[in-house]
A and B are shown apart, each in its own frame.
Chain A
Amino acid sequence: MSDAERLTRDDVAHVARLALLQLSDAELDEFTGQLAAVLDHAADVDALDLAEVAPTAHPYPLANVWRDDVVGPVLDRDEVLAEAPQAESGRFRVPAILGEEP
Chain B
Amino acid sequence: MSGSTRHVAAPPAGSAREIAEAVRRGERSAREVLDAHLTRIAEVDADLHAFNLVIADEARAEADALDRAVAAGVTPGPLAGVPVALKDNICTRGVATTCSSRILEGWHPPYDATVVERLRAAGAIVVGKTNLDEFAMGSSTENSAFGPTHNPHDVTRVPGGSSGGSAAAVAAGLAPVALGSDTGGSIRQPAALCGVVGVKPTYGRVSRYGLVAFASSLDQIGPFATTVADAAAVLDVIGGHDPLDSTSIPEAAPSLSAALDEGVAGLRVGVVAELMGEGVAPVVADRVRAAADSLAAAGAEVGEASVPAAVYGLTAYYLIAPAEASSNLARYDGVRYGLRVDAPTTAEMMTATRTAGFGAEVKRRIMLGTYALSAGYYDAYYGKALKVRTLIIRDFAAAYERFDLLLSPTSPTTAFTFGAKSDPMAMYMNDVCTIPSNLSGDPAVSVPFGFDEAGLPVGVQVLAPALGEAVMLRAAAVLEAAAPVREERS
Chain B: minimal CB distance from A67 (Å): 6
Q: How many of B's residues come within 8 Å of A, CB to CB?
A: 72
Q: A92 touching B336 by the CB < 8 A rule? A: yes
Q: B110 touching A75 by the CB < 8 A rule? A: yes
Chain B: minimal CB distance from A1 (Å): 5
A56 an interface residue at 8 Å Cβ cutoff?
yes
Question: Quick one: which of B259-305 are within 8 Å of A by CB?
Answer: none
Q: B108 touching A83 by the CB < 8 A rule? A: yes
Q: A21 touching B333 by the CB < 8 A rule? A: no
Once A50-B388, A95-B345, A99-B345 are accepted as A-B contacts, the answer to whether A21 and B246 lie under 8 Å apart by CB is no
Q: B387 touching A1 by the CB < 8 A rule? A: no
Q: B371 touching A35 by the CB < 8 A rule? A: yes
Expressed in whole angstroms, the Cα–Cα distance for A56 and B466 within the complex equals 16
Contact pick for A85, options B316, B335, B344, B466, CB 8 Å:
B335
Residues of chain A lying within 8 A (CB to CB) of residue B311: 44
Q: A55 touching B386 by the CB < 8 A rule? A: yes
Q: B371 touching A15 by the CB < 8 A rule? A: yes
Once A35-B368, A83-B337, A94-B335 are accepted as A-B contacts, the answer to whether A62 and B384 lie under 8 Å apart by CB is no
Chain A: minimal CB distance from B106 (Å): 9
* Interface segment, one of B8-16, B44-52, B358-366, B476-484: B358-366
B204 an interface residue at 8 Å Cβ cutoff?
yes
Q: B386 touching A57 by the CB < 8 A rule? A: yes
Contact pick for B387, options A21, A53, A99, CB 8 Å:
A53
Q: B340 touching A67 by the CB < 8 A rule? A: no
Contact pick for A56, options B111, B342, B347, B390, CB 8 Å:
B390
Q: B424 touching A37 by the CB < 8 A rule? A: yes
Once A79-B110, A96-B344 are accepted as A-B contacts, the answer to whether A22 and B351 lie under 8 Å apart by CB is yes
Q: B381 touching A1 by the CB < 8 A rule? A: yes
Expressed in whole angstroms, the Cα–Cα distance for A11 and B380 within the complex equals 15
Q: B110 touching A95 by the CB < 8 A rule? A: no
Q: A58 touching B217 by the CB < 8 A rule? A: yes
Question: Quick one: which of B184-223 are within 8 Å of A by CB?
Answer: 203-204, 217
B178 an interface residue at 8 Å Cβ cutoff?
no
Cβ proximity bits A16-28 to B, threshold 8 Å, 1 near / 0 not: 1011111100010
B243 an interface residue at 8 Å Cβ cutoff?
yes
Question: Quick one: which of A31-71 are within 8 Å of B by CB?
Answer: 31, 34-35, 37-39, 41-42, 44-45, 48, 50, 53-60, 62, 65, 67
Once A94-B335, A95-B342, A96-B346 are accepted as A-B contacts, the answer to whether A50 and B384 lie under 8 Å apart by CB is yes
Expressed in whole angstroms, the Cα–Cα distance for A34 and B311 within the complex equals 21
Residues of chain B lying within 8 A (CB to CB) of residue A45: 312, 315-316, 384-385, 388
Q: B466 touching A60 by the CB < 8 A rule? A: yes
Q: B381 touching A35 by the CB < 8 A rule? A: no
Q: B355 touching A84 by the CB < 8 A rule? A: no
Q: B314 touching A41 by the CB < 8 A rule? A: yes
Question: Quick one: which of B323-374 are within 8 Å of A by CB?
Answer: 326, 333-340, 342-352, 354-355, 358, 360, 363-364, 366-368, 370-371, 374
Closest to A102 in B: B344
Contact pick for B393, options A59, A76, A85, CB 8 Å:
A59
Residues of chain A lying within 8 A (CB to CB) of residue B377: 4
Once A65-B246, A75-B110 are accepted as A-B contacts, the answer to whether A31 and B346 lie under 8 Å apart by CB is no
7 intermolecular pairs with C-beta atoms under 8 Å apart: A20-B333, A23-B363, A58-B217, A83-B110, A83-B336, A94-B346, A95-B345
**Chain A contacts to B: CB under 8 angstroms:** 1, 3-4, 7, 11-12, 15-16, 18-23, 27, 31, 34-35, 37-39, 41-42, 44-45, 48, 50, 53-60, 62, 65, 67, 75-76, 79-80, 83-86, 92, 94-97, 99
| Given contact pairs A3-B380, A95-B348, a sample of 10 additional A-B residue pairs in the complex whose CB atoms are under 8 Å apart | A12-B367, A15-B374, A31-B364, A37-B424, A38-B368, A50-B387, A56-B386, A83-B110, A83-B336, A95-B349
**Chain B contacts to A: CB under 8 angstroms:** 107-108, 110-111, 203-204, 217, 243, 246-247, 309, 311-312, 314-316, 318-319, 326, 333-340, 342-352, 354-355, 358, 360, 363-364, 366-368, 370-371, 374, 377, 380-381, 383-391, 393, 423-425, 428, 439-442, 466
